[in-house]
Structure 1
């Protein structure tokens, strides 16, 4: 959003200090989030990240133990985000996040590794209310409301929290989570989250305050910032997986640079695979940010009353939609109201339109809703999709009407799938990587990897990639098969790829360790004596065979690491007697030990 300039505490152009305490002059600025524009221009500043944290995405099939072994040399501990394959790696104080991320990014068993970037926030402009809610008329919301107000749809607002006491929001809230403090307190600590929430789903027909796009939708507040409005990509990714795992169908992230953060894109794909849509602010730099387009997110640019791009709205091929984002009347923390500007307002307006369409036809898949939003948007720029407005400015009336009229046709087209690596007849060993290429006319929702007919793992996020512990198989030929599934349940099995498993077998030449615990050497015995031994081996105690001899005669045997025998010494001749224990491991290595006792 647009902001009033804040005191920076340093002269313009002075180097700024990162969260890690080091200086990074000369790097491109991280676009300030939450509608970063002050008087229509982005503030430049160096990228900042969390000290002691790195985010990675593991390949499907990589066990927690194997992941732990990879990060252990860096002193790291891994924490999984929800049920996804995203992990936050916590590093010791002396470990460099930059160096660690660079090393882990080269590990073939991670899809990516990146810093946990900090996203600074700034308040929206709180101008006095100056006229009607123009944006609602511009997107034809009132016509859409004849059919849907978004009832039954929950929109997750990942932001600074939401003011639960606000009269236009209190009735719309459902429980969320605070990922900054790791508790259930989702109160708004900065104000921005309340503005965003009011833009998408302030209560309808309550006779007070403002009208929002989807006035009967629910809001799930997910706090991802500190008290200054700054958050981290790990918290945003955590919030997305949290909402997805609870069946939320729409999420809004009013932060900039999200398409360039692999962790957020991955978490958004996780939510999309579970039937959700994730809307994000395009940014307020006023420039082409050059982000790579992704289907996991729906980036939204901002328009004004004349359907022109806001001067400060970022643009590029990554933009999917446009929505009103200049002088939008919304809720403020503390119970008040005001106008706000920025792509961080345009994004929840678009999310609200999605909620209306979903409310009109809750039976439609999210992929249908997304396609409806893109095809019903008003083409206000160059013909067709363009860099300023994407597919066009959202139109609630057209979207709801299209959703109502939508006739679901049976998807009978199966995906295409093939194993890209390893290639047939190649040799694999140790922890191997497997890459699968899969595509579909609608979308691939999951890929299974089978090894010799047994499922190894499932990957639901492209690129579909697996880690395979080949040491669990005997050396020889192994057949790899991938099975791809789409949302309609169509499945396709790839051509089998035969590879040669060849792990080096190291000969076991170490004998077991063996002791006679009782009786001790040189002791005198009488009556019934309990003889006990203890054995261990580098290959484990299960394969050990033990024998017990008294004066050269075998009297007992046992398997495992312990042997016990009751020895009746009453009929023994007076003098010395020798007790001998022999332990042999599975490889045939033996150890013998003896003690001499007297009677």
Structure 2
């Protein structure tokens, strides 16, 4: 895998520097969907041993009159994350200001809420995948199907038992529940199908990169027929895992308000040459994290974003089903799949080169701009890839 040697050295040094984290330690956790309230703050302190962290947490709680709700080491940026709850009457702006001035606290911010970006439709499924035709994926798949590329899907839970996803995913990680929760949710399952649905099972649909390796990093939760929800804590833990485990692509088909901690993690991923793809948003303006410099934005109306299919796309649904999905979340999934095709051929390309290849491969299709997957491959392998 790319960057494997550097990651191994980093983790070895981290283990020497912070011996308490060299082995598994008990940390206070609470389901993420139980802490997304207006009275919670998320703060970081320098990474230290468990005893020191416990003392720091107690001192902060006593000094500011807050209650520790959850915690987790974010080893990828060498900090420990605390989620604390203030009382209902607290002046949150004043509390944040006092915490920002505190020498023990590195960063402090409000707990932010995020949404998976999808416009839901009840239309019947179409018998063909027009999206693959729109992006010229079949021509691209003559040269690459994404083999060996690892894609982290930070989203709601993927149904790993779906016949089009069976055997396509590594073991999932759940950053919403406490412990491993076995669930299957609409949004994550649809995004996974678009990126990498099985090509060899003669069932259902074909993904853009059907042999790429997917991992479900569940950071969002979703009630049936409802939009998915996430928060700063669950997303931070998922991104931390993705950084520490050296994924090639991180797909973020979600959006919300600017978040300093998440931006720090995303920038750290970009610095490690991990490609971060995010959904543009649904209001014509880039939402966070698509707005972050270095992130590849998908599905937006401007030339800063990569145009990809985002309306009436058939994909996988929980419980062996299929459904019709729309939204910039869908566009991001297509772009992540195309990047997997390219990285399978050229695993060491930097993010800047990948972004340039995407922007240079936008073509007019039926009068509208659309990414051409085969042209993306051709841009980096002109002598071996023909899109005719």
TM range (shorter): 0.7 to 0.9
Question: 1:280-429 to 2 correspondence within 5 Å?
Answer: 280-286=278-284, 293-301=291-299, 319-378=304-363, 393-405=370-382
Residues 174 and 181, structure 2, Cα contact 8 Å, conserved in 1: yes
Aligned counterpart, 1:180 = 176
Q: 1:74 aligns with which of 59, 64, 77?
A: 64
Q: Which has the higher helix share?
A: 2
Q: How many angstroms apart in 1 are the aligned matches of 2:260 and 2:230?
A: 16
Could you tell me how far apart the structure 1 residues matched to 2:354 and 2:189 are?
26
- More relative contact order, 1 or 2 (CA 8 Å, 6+ apart): 2
Write out per-residue CA displacement over residues 416-466 of structure 1, whole angstroms, 9 at most, x where no aligned residue. Answer: xxxxxxxxxxxxxxxxxxxxxxxxxxxxxxxxxxxxxxxxxxxxxxxxxxx
**What is the CA–CA distance in structure 1 between the aligned matches of 2:326 and 2:252, rounded to whole Å?**
15
Structure whose residues are more often strand by fraction:
1
Task: Output the CA distance in 2 between the equivalents of 1:278 and 1:186.
Answer: 26
8 Å Cα contact 2:254-2:279 kept in structure 1: yes
CA contact under 8 A between 2:298 and 2:328: conserved in structure 1? yes
The answer to whether the Cα contact below 8 Å between 2:83 and 2:233 also exists between their aligned partners in 1 is no
8 A contact 1:57–1:85 mirrored in 2: no
> How many angstroms apart in 2 are the aligned matches of 1:287 and 1:233?
21
Q: CA deviation at 1:399?
A: 1.2
SS of 1:345's partner is: helix
C-alpha distance in 2 between matches for 1:238 and 1:109: 21
Report the Cα distance in structure 1 between the residues aligned to 2:349 and 2:174, rounded to whole angstroms: 31
1:207 aligns with 2:202: yes
Map residues 394-543 of structure 1 onto 2, 5 A cutoff: 394-405=371-382
User: Is the CA contact (8 Å cut-off) linking 1:105 and 1:114 kept in structure 2?
Assistant: no
Query: Is residue 234 of structure 1 aligned with residue 211 of structure 2?
Result: no
Contact persistence 1:52–1:96 (CA under 8 A): no
**SS of 1:322's equivalent?**
coil
Where 1:323 maps in the other structure, the secondary structure is coil
1:169 alignment counterpart:
165
User: What are the Cα deviations for residues 259-282 of structure 1, in whole angstroms up to 9, with x where unaligned?
Assistant: x22222221112222221111111
- Could you tell me how far apart the structure 2 residues matched to 1:284 and 1:290 are? 12
- Normalised by the size of structure 1, how large is the TM-score? 0.50
- SS of residue matched to 1:176: strand
Contact 1:168 1:202 in 2 (8 A): yes
In 2 relative to 1, CA 334–51 (structure 1 residues): closer, same or farther, beyond 3 Å?
same
**Residues 1:50 and 1:210: Cα distance change in structure 2 (over 3 Å):** same
1:224 maps to: 219
Residue 164 of structure 1 and its aligned partner are, at CA, apart by: 1.2
CA distance change for structure 1 residues 186 and 150 in 2, over 3 Å: closer, same or farther?
A: farther
From the superposition, tell whether residues 236 and 372 of structure 1 become closer, same or farther in structure 2 (CA, over 3 Å): same
Match among 252, 261, 264 for residue 263 of structure 1: 261
- In structure 2, which of residues 35, 38, 42 is the aligned counterpart of residue 55 of structure 1? 42
Answer whether contact 1:83 1:241 (CA < 8 A) is retained.
yes
8 Å contact 1:244–1:271 — kept in the other structure? yes
Q: Is residue 2:253 matched to residue 1:254?
A: yes
Distance 1:278 1:50, change over 3 A: farther
1:140-199 C-alpha deviation (Å, 9 max, x unpaired): 1111101100011121111110111100001201013100113233532x3111011111
Measure the CA separation in 2 of the matches of 1:63 and 1:209.
47
Q: CA deviation at 1:298?
A: 1.9
Cα 1:210–1:102 change in 2 (3 A) is farther
For residues 80-95 of structure 1, what are the structure 2 equivalents within 5 Å?
80-85=73-78, 87-94=80-87
Match of 2:15 in 1: none
1:364–1:92 Cα change, 3 Å? closer
Q: Deviations over 1:505-553 (max 9, x none)?
A: xxxxxxxxxxxxxxxxxxxxxxxxxxxxxxxxxxxxxxxxxxxxxxxxx
Pair member with larger Rg: 1
SS in 2 for 1:89: strand
Query: Shift of the alpha carbon at 1:98?
Result: 4.6
Alignment partner, residue 244 of structure 2: 245
Aligned residue pairs total: 333
Aligned to 1:174, the other structure's residue is in SS state strand
Residues 308-345 of structure 1 show CA distances to partners (whole Å, capped at 9, x for unaligned) of xxxxxxx568x432211001111111111122110111
Q: 1:332 to 1:156 in 2, by over 3 A?
A: same
Residues 1-20 of structure 1: pairs in structure 2 closer than 5 A:
none
Candidates 123, 126, 142, aligned match of 1:127: 123
Structure 1 segments unaligned to the other structure (5+ residues)? 1-47, 303-314, 381-388, 407-599
Distance 1:86 1:215, change over 3 A: same
Partner of 1:137: 133
TM-score, normalisation: structure 2: 0.75
